[in-house]
Amino acid sequence: MVGTDTSELNAARAALVEALVRTGDEDRDAFRTVYRLTSAKLFGICLRICADRQGAEDVLHDVYLTIWNRAGAYQPGRASPISWLATIARNRAIDWRRRQARTRAVGVEDAEAVPDGAPAQDDALLAVEAHARLHHCLEGIESRQRAAIRSAFFGGLTYAELAVQAAVPLGTMKSWVRRGLLALRGCLDGDA
């Protein structure tokens, strides 16, 4: 089903790992390679969560400074370097969004447009198998629970924001997400 060639995936990942390791030696060319290989993915994450172009640019700027400063300790033992980088970007963007939310109302509808569940077949850097399994398990849980979990992940939304977005009481939203996560864990464990 998934058309990404395994050797292509391994080569892309190896290139990124190598560039990260060399970035750790303060190799600016290697850092540019890391940027070239990952900036579109990480900017997509920042833009979606910040829902503000300038904010997303500021966050991405900080994310790459972090990568430059921390790549020195990077060891190529981590299975998916792009996941490591994407997690940094997502968390920084969430921090930014929540700081903004305290000073002005950020519309939750800004984060409403969530990517559909179709597996991305062109992303050679991400583990295809883990992706297929997570999607399989997400498809298996109740639709409102699934929608809430996806909104939380892609929008960086809190329980309170999710409840407003879905127009349900906070307790109902918590219950949906918790039960969805419980079912998800059962499925992921069972498929291992």
Site for another protein contains 95 (CB under 8 A): yes
Counting contacts by CB under 8 A, is residue 156 touching another protein? Answer: yes
**Binders in 103-132 for another protein, by CB under 8 A:** 103, 115-120, 123, 126-127, 130-131
Structure tokens at 82: 């792009």
Q: Does residue 18 interact with another protein by CB under 8 A?
A: no
Of residues 74-93, those binding another protein (CB under 8 A): 74-78, 80, 82-84, 86-88, 90-92
Burial 45-76 (b: 16+ CB within 10 A, else e): bbbbbbbbeebbeebbebbbeebbeebeebee
Considering the rule CB under 8 A, would residue 136 count as an interface residue with another protein? Answer: no
Among 9, 12, 47, 168, binds another protein (CB under 8 A): 47
Q: Is the Cβ–Cβ distance between 137 and 84 less than 8 Å?
A: no
Q: Does 60 bind another protein (CB under 8 A)?
A: yes
Contact flag: residue 174 with another protein (CB under 8 A): yes
Q: Which residue reads 């407003």 in tokens?
A: 164
Cα dihedral 161, 164, 167, 172, rounded to 10, equals 50
